[in-house]
Structure formats: C-alpha cells, structure tokens
A and B are shown apart, each in its own frame.
Chain A
C-alpha cells in the first residue's frame, strides 16, 4: 500500500508540491493526473527515494521512502517518465542487468516479452521511443512485487500496445497489487483507475472515486443541422450555436434522454460526441491552470 501524507517539497516560492496526501490500497489503481509541471513526477520521485521531503511523509507498506529506500525499492516496480537507459546497452543487456539487480520472475519476463514484443538485440540508442517504453515496461513488471509506480506508462506506445498495457495493469490489479499511475491518457485512466486525483501547481485539486468523477463530469455533443435557420431554432431550446452546429453539454443520463427526445423532433444532419467524459472534466481544470 502507498501512503502519502501532507508531503511538501518547496523548490522556490511557487514551485514544488504542497500538502499532497493520498492512499493507494491493494487491488486498486490510483490515477494521478495533472498538467505538465504540476508536481506528479516530483511526488513519484519521493516514493522512489530520489527526493527528500521538506515535511510530510511518503511510505510504501509502512516503510519510509527516504529512510528505508532499499526496502521500499525491493517492494516497488517503477516505470519512470523519462527512459534514460545507457545508450550503448542492448535491450537484452538491460533485461539481463535488471535480472541481476532485482528479484525477478522468469515466467513473467517470458510473458512480458510475448505481449510487448520488440527487438531485444537492438542498442538503446537505435530504439524508437515506443521500443524504449516497451523495454521499460518489461523491466518494470519483471518484478513480481506488491506495488507498482507508473509514470506516463503509455507514452510513445501505439494503440495496440496501449490496450495490452491496460489489460496487463487490470490483471495486476485483480492480483491485488497497489498501482499508482500518472497519465495524460484519459481513456486508459477510465478503464483502469478506481480512484483519481488531479494535481495543479503542486496542490491536490480533487481526489475522488472514479465512478463519482464520471457521474459529475459533463459530456459534450455537437449536432449538425441542415441549415442555419434549423440551427437557430434548436439553439433556442438547447446548447450554443456556431453556424449550422449546436454544441450541448450534459451531465446525467436524464439530460441525455431529454436531448434524444428533443432531437427526434428535428431534422438532424450529423451528431458527434466531443471529448471523453473524464477528459472533458479534467480539461476544465487544465484550462484554469494555463
């Protein structure tokens, strides 16, 4: 289990993280969301014993992440946001080194190399971003540990590999692992996370069950009308108009049913849904940050 309590690290007056608190329970995935520079990686670095907090505490299964860093790192599989493996090593050499540095499972290694297949004979310097990411995923999950910390895990992966990673994470969750996942990729967060938090300017803005976040979030629909007159007529009843298009934002299924009933009485040219629910909600917070 991961526990962060009132964690504060001040780099200067405005930069750092301030009073960050959350828990990640076994068998759950916790989504950590925020704009670039919000403090996600800074928080994660405390868990890996890379940063020493000014105040507050970060623990993994009761072990202090700074004072008992060796114990903590033995319990955690870490996928860093920036993959900086030695450039002259091949994928196979990095995997072999991981085997020697950590307690790993040969069976998991074989499975991972099947699922996230790539040319392990290639040197890191020759690898694409996606290949390096797959290498990092393999070396992270080779460890059969109770806690995983994943910083932007799908970065650089193609859609098929993203889907496979989501499946892998769900399997780990089902096996009772506690997983902290920072990401900008909302569909994967919706599929995997039980709970999520948004951090902005180093402070936690919201922390909520995923189901509750979805319930509160708004969904946007863009309705195309035959002509401008029809669009004006519809916009008088609902939404906002832009030329022949009307945009409607909804929160509940009741509102959605009402919209469908309304549209049935109009001659509609097209209907498209906007950003995903969760993404839409977080984009509002992101927007406030910029």
Chain B
C-alpha cells in the first residue's frame, strides 16, 4: 500500500492533468453541442467531405450530429483518445523503468513482483480516474444542458476505453522491461503503438484494407460500432483476455529481468 501511494503521489500531477484536461475538453464540447447542432454548420461540413475521409476517421455523417456521444465517437474516441492513451500508457509504465527512477524502490526491501503489483494498481487507478472523470464530465453536462445522453451507452464506452488503456499501459511496461536501452525501448514502444494507430486509420481507406484492423488493438475499441448497436461483449472479452495475458507477462519478465539501472 505504501508503494502504491508513493507511486501515485509521484505521478498524480500529470495523471490528474490528463484526466481533468480531457474532461474539461469533453464538458465544453458537450456544452456547446446544442448550439453546433442548431446551426447545422458541422453537419454541412461533414456532408461536404468525401465519404472515404469520413470512413478513415469512422465518422457517420448521418449520425454524427444526433447526439453529443455520436460526435465524440468520431472526434474524441476516434482519434484523440488513441493518441492520448499511447502517451499516457508510455509515460506511466515505461518511463520509471527507462529513466532508472525505479531504483528508488528496487533498493528498498520490496520484491519485484510487489513492484509490478503496485505499478499495475497505479495503472488501474490512473485509468479509472481518466475514463471515470471523462464519463462524469459528460454526465454533468447531460444534467446541465439536457443532452439526452444514454448513460448505459456512455459507461459501456468508458469501460471499453478503460480496458484499452489498461492493455496499452501493461504492454508499454512489458516493452520497457525487454530493453536495457531507454531510447530503444521508447522507439519500439512508440513504433508498435504507431503501427496500431496507422493500421486502424488505413483500414478505413478501402474495403481491401479492412484486414489491417486485425493488426490493431484499437480495433477492439470502435466507438461508432458501439453506438450503432454492435455487441461490445466480444471486444470486452478480448481486451480482458489480453490484459490478463500481458499482466502475467509483466510479472514473468520483470521478476526475471536483469536491471542495469
């Protein structure tokens, strides 16, 4: 518990920065959504864009302006969240190992598996704060501005977002454990995450490239499909299974790894 609270204190500034920053962004977007909807300007803009481009960012122009969640599915959850999730996961899990800050804890009478458990606990806390505050800000906006948000759908979306954040975080941790060289570790982590992102975007270019979705973890978080009523349970199952698998590898790697810090 000491370890978890220490790690949280050490990271709370930027964790809250990400969580509050994105929540404020979502709140204000939700606040101005009725005005945007009234003017019909964005709808007009979306209609004028080539359908291929809308496909790339998974935006359905017929649904996008129906509800703020539909707008966010393309705007926030379609791209911004992916990028934020990559930055968030890398910083939270890879940096302490890469920078040698982990030595502060490794010199203490703490087992390696104890450190991994504390790191995973921190990742869960950070994820709950991130997606939880995002969800709460939209709930608050819903109450204040009568946005007609479907709470069940919103929290399913947040659960799915949270699970993908956990997968990325634990994956960043495993990758950081694999390399002694921090630059190489960051490059590989960033490279793999970028491939996921690019594969996800390119899969929207044409039907022939649809197979690229299978290469990307982000395909397990398709906000538009979720809004259109597709079952989310398979994605949730795969994300949970991936999480368990990667967390087990975290223990396996980190407890055996030579640390040249």
Contact = CB atoms under 8 A, between A and B. Distances in A.
Contacts of B105: 101
Given A84-B100, A88-B13, A100-B2, A51 B109 contact: no
Contacts of B10: 86, 88-89
A94 interface: yes
B258 A51 contact: yes
Contacts of B96: 86
Nearest to A73: B109
Interface stretch (A74-82, A174-182, A252-260, A274-282): A74-82
B104 A94 contact: yes
A94 B103 CA distance: 12
Nearest to A69: B111
Contacts of A93: 9
B101 A85 contact: yes
Given A52-B258, A84-B261, A73 B101 contact: no
A70 interface: yes
Interface in B110-151: 110-112
Contacts of B107: 48, 73, 78, 80
A248 B245 CA distance: 69
A217 B213 CA distance: 71
A99 to B, nearest CB: 10
Nearest to B3: A101
Interface residues of A, number: 26
A71 interface: yes
A97 interface: yes
Interface string B74-96: 00000000000000000000001
B162 to A, nearest CB: 26
The SS class assigned to the B binding surface is helix
B99 interface: yes
Contacts of A80: 103, 107
A267 B63 CA distance: 103
Given A70-B109, A71-B109, A97-B6, A50 B261 contact: yes
B153 to A, nearest CB: 38
A52 B259 CA distance: 9
B62 interface: no
Contacts, number: 64
Interface in A44-86: 45, 48-52, 69-71, 73-74, 78, 80, 82, 84-86
B260 A86 contact: no
A73 B105 CA distance: 11
A126 interface: no
Nearest to A140: B107
B45 interface: no
Given A73-B107, A88-B13, A50 B258 contact: yes
Nearest to A85: B104
B260 A51 contact: yes
Of B2, B96, B100, B109, the most chain A CB neighbours within 10 A belong to: B109
Contacts of A50: 106, 258-261
Contact of A70 (B2, B13, B99, B111): B111
Given A45-B260, A50-B259, A101 B103 contact: no
Nearest to B10: A86
A226 interface: no
A110 interface: no
A108 interface: no
Contacts of A48: 106-107
Of B6, B9, B96, B107, the most chain A CB neighbours within 10 A belong to: B107
A102 interface: yes
Contact of B2 (A82, A88, A94, A101): A101
A84 B99 contact: yes
Contacts of A94: 104
Given A50-B260, A88-B10, A97-B6, A74 B109 contact: yes
Contact of A52 (B103, B104, B256): B256
A224 to B, nearest CB: 48
A80 B106 CA distance: 11
Of A52, A93, A97, the most chain B CB neighbours within 10 A belong to: A97
Interface in A4-61: 45, 48-52
Interface of A: 45, 48-52, 69-71, 73-74, 78, 80, 82, 84-86, 88-89, 93-94, 97-98, 100-102
23 contacts: A48-B106, A50-B106, A50-B258, A50-B261, A51-B259, A51-B260, A69-B111, A69-B112, A70-B111, A71-B109, A73-B107, A73-B108, A73-B110, A74-B109, A80-B103, A82-B100, A82-B103, A82-B261, A86-B96, A88-B13, A93-B9, A98-B108, A100-B6
- In order of increasing CB-CB distance, the 6 nearest A-B pairs are A84-B100, A101-B108, A74-B109, A50-B259, A73-B109, A78-B107
Given A80-B103, A101-B109, 14 more contacts: A50-B261, A73-B110, A74-B109, A84-B101, A84-B261, A85-B104, A86-B96, A88-B10, A88-B13, A89-B10, A94-B104, A98-B108, A101-B6, A101-B108
